[in-house]
Structure 1
Amino acid sequence: LGRTLKKWQKTILAYFDTGGASNGGTEAVNGLIELGRRIARGFRNLENYRLRMLLIGGGLDASTHTQL
């Protein structure tokens, strides 16, 4: 445990220096977009793909947007 804490000391202390800020939100959106990318394989139209990523990244329910 001691070696692990020493190894990660700068990173752990940086968390407190930034007021607890993290990139967790960004990573969550990236994960959703990656999931959407896997699901959207086969989209032939780049605009449809772009709109799908915006729907997924924005947290909208695609079933309510029937015209996309």
Structure 2
Amino acid sequence: LLAWFTAVAAHEIPELMRLARTLDTWRDELLAYFDTAGVSNGPTEATNALIKKVKRVGHGFRNFANYRLRLLLHCGVARQTPPTTPIRRRLPRLAA
């Protein structure tokens, strides 16, 4: 990275100089991405955007329980319900 900075400084291209300044300003944050094995805030931001969308489309909910259920439905969280009892003990015969 330092070699690239010196090469950019030697050429004095305004766009590359600006990019070099930006990279130098954000150096710690950029290198931290590689130190933390690529951990990203992206999934959290996507969930927050989905929550805001559900709230906007809902035009208001009567109570928090309905709002919570709608969020769980849209976010793909499985509800913890007991399994249903089977009606038949055998598989139906299919006509060929």
The TM-score range, normalised by the shorter chain, is 0.7 to 0.9
Instruction: Give structure 1 regions of 4+ aligned residues with deviation exceeding 2 angstroms.
Output: none
Deviations 1:18-37 (A, max 9, x none): 01111111111111111101
Distance in 1 (CA, whole Å) between partners of 2:38 and 2:62 is: 42
Alignment TM-score, normalising by the size of structure 2: 0.57
2:30 corresponding residue in structure 1: 12
Question: Aligned partner of 2:66: which letter?
Answer: N
1:41 corresponding residue in structure 2: 59
Rg larger in 1 or in 2?
2
Aligned-residue offset at 1:55: 1.0
- The yes-or-no answer on 1:22 pairing with 2:40 is yes
Indicate the structure whose relative CO is greater, using CA pairs within 8 Å and at least 6 residues apart.
1
Distance in 2 (CA, whole Å) between partners of 1:48 and 1:6 is: 48
Deviations 1:2-60 (A, max 9, x none): 11000110110000000111111111111111110111122112211110011112278
Alignment TM-score, normalising by the size of structure 1: 0.77
Segments of 5+ residues of structure 1 without an aligned counterpart are: 61-68
Task: Point out the structure with the larger helix share.
Answer: 1
Question: How many residue pairs end up in the alignment?
Answer: 60
Partner secondary structure for residue 11 of structure 1: helix
- The yes-or-no answer on 1:57 pairing with 2:75 is yes
Segments of 5+ residues of structure 2 without an aligned counterpart are: 1-18, 79-96
